[in-house]
């Protein structure tokens, strides 16, 4: 792969939770403008993987390079400032704050008022349903709207890389499809790279360029999403009829 | 007519005490909000505020507003140091370790400062910074001390409100108290926000200490214990972690205490506060304004 086009390189990432080995020698690359997905069963280490990138969880070994600069060991707020934001599992919007206040918190790190305004307008044009609910408490939104708000909030941080943890969780198939269409839109319009972590392997494989398969903290398979989709072991384990 | 006047008079006295409790309770509730810690050393910061003001007034003849400003900076600094030295190393440790440490910090401050070389364990008369004046409003009287207490508390509450709801730092404090991990994902520096919250809480306790010293002019290194516990109960009564709950709780506790002293017997003035605590824990453990109950 062309090094200049590389956004993030993760090498030999190993994370322990006490005695439990949550991630083991994980290597993952993501290019600028790419959507990759990480699929795996519950407890395979997917969320730990994202939390390690954001600095919430510290790795025991390995490196995480963003545009050639090691970010592993930095505080989460420093990593956000370098352009990595995340939509956490279960969305975790601030329920007692309004939609507008949630979005403003997403732009907490921005000093440039014009950029903040631009991103705010972008979020509202991407998610028009949030526009109608700006003054409403985030806790009163539907699951799909909360997912949109959590994505909008992450976009407000002006990311180069957006991490999405189980965006389809608890959503109906129709809303899930809508969310994934929006993920593609964000990627295409703004050139934001996306790491998608999903239990819903169908959607993840369909909407990403490349996919990594995580099992018990190890990468057991990687490649073009289209090819992985046709692999017999994957069909049996994750896409079962 | 006479009983109305007496009631009103006691109500004013209750507000005076309640204002001090409210100022202390705010620190408990804000620190609980960001750290889920009952900072038992908070009552001792209140005591420290009274002592710093005592030295400023008796040793240097400086105007009263400067006494407030300097004391607030000093107690905020002490709050910052306590957090850095005692609580920050325990980030991620079980909550019970933090709680035990808080008790340790409290005992350390009380007994270290009670050494003869420092504040001693004696009661010290707090100097009156001005002559007491009584204003007779026919039904009841108000002293200039009470006016000072109400004005200072009012200004403090307005400034705190503006800080929390109108500034970026306040937004960070609220985000951290809602969800620390997500706040970090917004780019908020968690440690700095926690430090700042400690400093604000300690500054308010410092103000409470000065006002208490002026109103009840006997100070002692253990003076923070009972007001500390009562203000903590005030914070629980209002709903721990909820700003306006701490203020309302503080006034309810102060007024209850004064009314029990006036109409029943001052023997029960402390007891009634614990009865309130029992009732809250039995009937609505999350407090008046609380929604959910969290395990400490």
Q: Are strands A218-224 and A210-215 parallel, antiparallel or unpaired?
A: antiparallel
Mean pLDDT along residues A97-106: 96
Measured in Å, how far apart are chain A's first and last C-alpha atoms? 35
Please give the pLDDT value at position B295.
45
- Contact across the interface for B171 and A105, Cβ inside 8 Å: yes
The three-state secondary structure class of B225 is: helix
The three-state secondary structure class of A108 is: coil
Please write the tens of the pLDDT for every residue from B171-189. Answer: 999 999 999 999 999 999 9
Question: What is the number of domains present in chain B?
Answer: 1
B36 located within any domain: yes
Q: B-chain residues within 8 Å CB-CB of A106?
A: 186
Please give the pLDDT value at position B296.
42
d(CA B93, CA A95): 27
B139 DSSP 8-state letter:
S
Domain boundaries, chain A: 34-47+74-237
CA nearest neighbour of B235 among B9, B12, B8, B23: B23
Give the residue from A18, A77, A88, A138 with the most B CB atoms within 10 Å of its CB, the best one to mutate. A77
Residue B89 has pLDDT above 60, yes or no: yes
Computed over every residue of chain B, the mean pLDDT equals 94
Confidence of residue B38 (pLDDT cuts 50, 70, 90): very high
Computed over every residue of chain A, the mean pLDDT equals 93
Please give the pLDDT value at position A1.
52
B137 located within any domain: no
Please give the pLDDT value at position A195.
97
d(CA B163, CA B165): 6
Residues of A with a Cβ under 8 Å from any B Cβ are 54-56, 75-77, 80-81, 85-86, 88, 92, 94-97, 101, 104-106, 108-109, 153-154, 157
Identify the bridge partners of residue A21 per DSSP, sorted by sequence position: A16
Residue A90 has pLDDT above 50, yes or no: yes
Question: Hey, what are B78's tokens?
Answer: 């002490």
- Contact across the interface for B178 and A94, Cβ inside 8 Å: yes
Segments in chain B forming alpha helices (H): 2-35, 42-59, 64-82, 95-113, 144-166, 168-178, 180-185, 190-215, 225-238, 243-263, 269-283
User: B192 burial class (0-12, 13-18, 19+ CB within 10 angstroms)?
Assistant: middle
The three-state secondary structure class of A22 is: strand
Secondary-structure class of domain A34-47+74-237 per CATH:
alpha beta
Please write the tens of the pLDDT for every residue from A110-140. Answer: 999 999 999 999 999 999 999 999 999 999 9
- Contact across the interface for A56 and B185, Cβ inside 8 Å: yes
Residue B1 has pLDDT above 60, yes or no: no
d(CA B32, CA B197): 10
Please give the pLDDT value at position A95.
94
Name the B residues in 127-186 with CB < 8 Å from any A CB: 168, 171-172, 174-175, 178-179, 181-186
d(CA A125, CA A145): 14
Please write the tens of the pLDDT for every residue from A3-50. Answer: 678 999 999 999 998 778 899 999 999 999 999 999 998 888 999 999
The three-state secondary structure class of B216 is: coil
Please give the pLDDT value at position A27.
96
User: B55 burial class (0-12, 13-18, 19+ CB within 10 angstroms)?
Assistant: middle
B290 located within any domain: no
Please give the pLDDT value at position A2.
59
d(CA B200, CA B204): 6
Confidence of residue A236 (pLDDT cuts 50, 70, 90): confident
Residue A176 has pLDDT above 70, yes or no: yes
Which H or E run contains A64?
Answer: strand A61-66
Mean pLDDT along residues A220-231: 91
CA nearest neighbour of B201 among B19, B31, B20, B52: B31
**CATH assignment at residue B181:** 1.10.3470
Residue B144 has pLDDT above 90, yes or no: yes
The string of DSSP codes covering B33-56 is: HHH----TTHHHHHHHHHHHHHHH
Please write the tens of the pLDDT for every residue from B12-24. Answer: 999 999 999 999 9
Which carries the bigger pLDDT value, residue A160 or residue B137? Answer: A160
The count of other CB atoms within 10 Å of the CB of residue B96 is: 9
B295 located within any domain: no
Q: Does B88 touch chain A (CB under 8 A)?
A: no
Question: Hey, what are A93's tokens?
Answer: 């919007």
Domain of residue B196: give its range. 2-120+142-283
Please write the tens of the pLDDT for every residue from B237-284. Answer: 999 999 999 999 999 999 999 999 999 998 999 999 999 999 999 999
Please give the pLDDT value at position A133.
96
Please write the tens of the pLDDT for every residue from B59-83. Answer: 998 999 999 999 999 999 999 999 9
Residue with tokens 């069963």: A41
Segments in chain A forming alpha helices (H): 46-54, 76-81, 99-106, 113-126, 128-131, 143-155, 173-190, 201-207, 225-229, 232-237
What is the phi/psi pair of residue A21, to 5°? Answer: -90, 100
Q: Are strands A35-39 and A193-198 parallel, antiparallel or unpaired?
A: parallel
Q: Which residues of B156-173 are buried (b: 16+ CB within 10 A; e: fewer)?
A: bbeebeeebeeeebbbbb
d(CA B186, CA B184): 5
Mean pLDDT along residues B144-156: 97
């Amino acid at each position: 792969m062309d090094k200049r086009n590389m956004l993030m390189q993760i090498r030999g990432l190993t994370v322990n939770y006490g005695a439990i080995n949550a991630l083991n020698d994980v290597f993952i690359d993501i290019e600028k403008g790419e959507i990759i997905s990480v699929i795996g069963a519950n407890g395979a280490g997917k969320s730990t993987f994202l939390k390690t990138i954001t600095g919430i969880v510290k790795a025991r070994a390995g490196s995480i390079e963003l545009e050639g600069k090691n970010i592993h060991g930095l505080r989460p707020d420093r990593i956000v400032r370098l352009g990595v934001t995340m939509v956490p599992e279960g969305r975790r919007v601030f329920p007692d704050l309004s939609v507008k206040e949630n979005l403003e918190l997403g732009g907490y790190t921005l000093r440039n008022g014009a950029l903040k305004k631009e991103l705010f307008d972008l979020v509202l044009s991407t998610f028009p349903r949030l526009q109608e609910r700006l003054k409403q408490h985030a806790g009163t939104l539907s699951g799909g709207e909360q997912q949109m708000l959590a994505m909008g909030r992450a976009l407000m941080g002006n990311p180069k890389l957006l991490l999405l943890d189980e965006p389809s969780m608890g959503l109906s198939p129709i809303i899930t499809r809508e969310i994934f269409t929006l993920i593609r839109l964000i990627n295409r319009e703004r050139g934001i790279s996306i790491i998608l972590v999903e239990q819903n392997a169908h959607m993840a494989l369909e909407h990403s360029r490349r996919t990594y398969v995580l099992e018990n903290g190890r990468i057991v398979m990687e490649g073009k999403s289209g090819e992985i989709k046709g692999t017999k072991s994957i069909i049996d384990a994750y896409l079962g009829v | 007519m006479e009983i109305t006047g007496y009631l009103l008079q006691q109500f004013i006295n209750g507000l005076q005490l309640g204002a001090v409790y409210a100022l202390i309770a705010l620190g408990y509730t804000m620190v609980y909000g960001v750290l889920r810690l009952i900072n038992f050393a908070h009552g001792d910061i209140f005591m420290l505020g009274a002592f710093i003001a005592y030295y400023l007034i008796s040793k240097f003849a400086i105007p009263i507003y400067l006494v407030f400003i300097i004391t607030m900076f000093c107690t905020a600094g002490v709050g910052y140091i306590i957090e850095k030295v005692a609580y920050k190393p325990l980030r991620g440790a079980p909550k019970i370790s933090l709680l035990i440490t808080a008790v340790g910090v409290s005992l350390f401050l009380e007994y270290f400062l009670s050494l003869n070389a420092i504040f001693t364990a004696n009661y010290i008369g707090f100097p009156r910074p001005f002559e007491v004046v009584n204003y007779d409003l026919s039904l009841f009287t108000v002293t200039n001390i009470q006016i000072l207490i109400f004005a200072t508390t009012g200004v403090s509450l307005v400034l705190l409100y503006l800080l929390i709801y109108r500034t970026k730092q306040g937004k960070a404090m609220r985000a951290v108290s809602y969800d620390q991990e997500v706040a970090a994902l917004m780019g908020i520096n968690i440690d700095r926000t926690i430090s700042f919250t400690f400093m604000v809480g300690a500054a308010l306790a410092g103000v409470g200490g000065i006002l208490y010293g002026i109103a009840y002019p006997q100070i002692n290194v253990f003076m923070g214990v009972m007001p500390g516990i009562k203000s903590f109960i005030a914070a629980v009564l209002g709903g721990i972690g909820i700003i306006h709950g701490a203020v309302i709780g503080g006034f309810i506790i102060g007024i209850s205490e004064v009314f029990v002293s006036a109409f029943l017997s001052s023997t029960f003035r402390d007891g009634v506060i614990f009865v309130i605590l029992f009732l809250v824990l039995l009937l609505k453990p999350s407090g008046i304004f609380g929604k959910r109950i969290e395990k400490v």
